[in-house]
Amino acid sequence: IYGAAVILIVVFMPDGIWGYLRGLLDRFKRAVLPTRTSAALQLSGGGQGSETVLEVRGLSKHFGGLKAVDEVDLTIRRGGVHALIGPNGSGKTTTLNVLSGLYKATAGSIVLNGQDITGLPPHARTRAGLGRTFQNIRLWRSMTALENVMVGAERPGSPAGNDPAALAERARAALAFVELEDRADEVVSSFSYGHQRAVEIARALAGDPVLLLLDEPGAGLNSSEKVELRDLLKRISARGLTILIIDHDMTLVSEVAQHITVLNFGRRIADGYSADVLKHPDVIAAYLGTGPDAAA
């Protein structure tokens, strides 16, 4: 009888008796309590300012003899979506890491919203208005979605300041923006890959950035999740926030981005309006590994 009881508990209550009771309690609360509707997420989008949000000149990052990023210039205009594309290993992630301060630039300058951030550590760049997500999702897996996003909301000078209640409120609004508000109190490791990516974006949005850096947010998503991602990017953009996105999906890139910069072997090989760049023979050659004639 004891053995049978253990087997039944393993099968029907995988979270244990307490986990089962808590599940019932949660379901009860959800049914009885009115669902909280948070205030809409306030995004200042960096406010007004010059037409350029980010001005990068001669940016290089060398790892010993390897020139992962080599004298790259990048100008990002306010309010649009700018895509950074290129084959694997062309230096896209390294560029983002140098922009956000995880790597120290070998050479070059980075000016964000008129402020030179080249020598600043990552947290000071966040304060200056950089938000980012990672190619390999980096969330605190044992924390809830809300707790993860609250960390992003907490920065000096941000709308929520450092007051826990205001931080939670702002985090809830950010989760509502990515349509995950009803799962705010669930542990993030139980989320699907696509939803984890959305939580990362919410965490970046909670800090009210001037410029949002997204490293392959579409990687590993299925086709319906990609449609959701595209709509989310459009909603963010509609709020006036500037986005720099790395992605391999040319359909997504051509749908959301107005400007494209292309890297190959760490060097910038093309830059300009999306339609022109995607027709550029060097870009076609870099992507298909053939001469422009064959590619055409």
Report the interface residues with ligand ADP, using CB under 6 A.
Answer: 63, 66, 68, 86, 88-94
In the list Mg ion, ligand ADP, none, the entry touching 75 (Cβ below 5 to 8 angstroms by class) is: none
Q: Which is nearer to Mg ion, 166 or 219 (CB)?
A: 219
In the list Mg ion, ligand ADP, none, the entry touching 94 (Cβ below 5 to 8 angstroms by class) is: ligand ADP
Q: Which is nearer to ligand ADP, 34 or 64 (CB)?
A: 64
Tokens matching residue 260: 């494209």
Measuring CA to CA, how many Å separate 263 from each of 84, 197, 210, 255? 7, 24, 24, 20
Q: Where are the beta strands (DSSP E) in 207-282?
A: 211-215, 242-246, 259-264, 267-273
Cα(51)–Cα(79) distance, rounded to whole angstroms? 9
Q: Which is nearer to ligand ADP, 166 or 219 (CB)?
A: 219
Tokens 């999306």 locate to 274
Closest separation in Å from C-beta 265 to ligand ADP:
9
Closest separation in Å from C-beta 93 to Mg ion:
3
Closest separation in Å from C-beta 274 to ligand ADP:
19
From the number of C-beta atoms within 10 Å of its C-beta (0-12, 13-18, 19+), residue 32 rates as: exposed
Q: Which is nearer to ligand ADP, 69 or 130 (CB)?
A: 69
Closest separation in Å from C-beta 279 to ligand ADP:
22
In the complex, the residues that contact Mg ion under the rule CB under 5 A are 92-93, 135
Closest separation in Å from C-beta 161 to Mg ion:
34
Closest CA to 148 of 220, 96, 101, 204: 204
Residue 210 and residue 156 in contact, taking contact as beta carbons nearer than 8 Å: no
In the list ligand ADP, Mg ion, none, the entry touching 91 (Cβ below 5 to 8 angstroms by class) is: ligand ADP
Q: Which is nearer to Mg ion, 78 or 92 (CB)?
A: 92
From the number of C-beta atoms within 10 Å of its C-beta (0-12, 13-18, 19+), residue 6 rates as: exposed
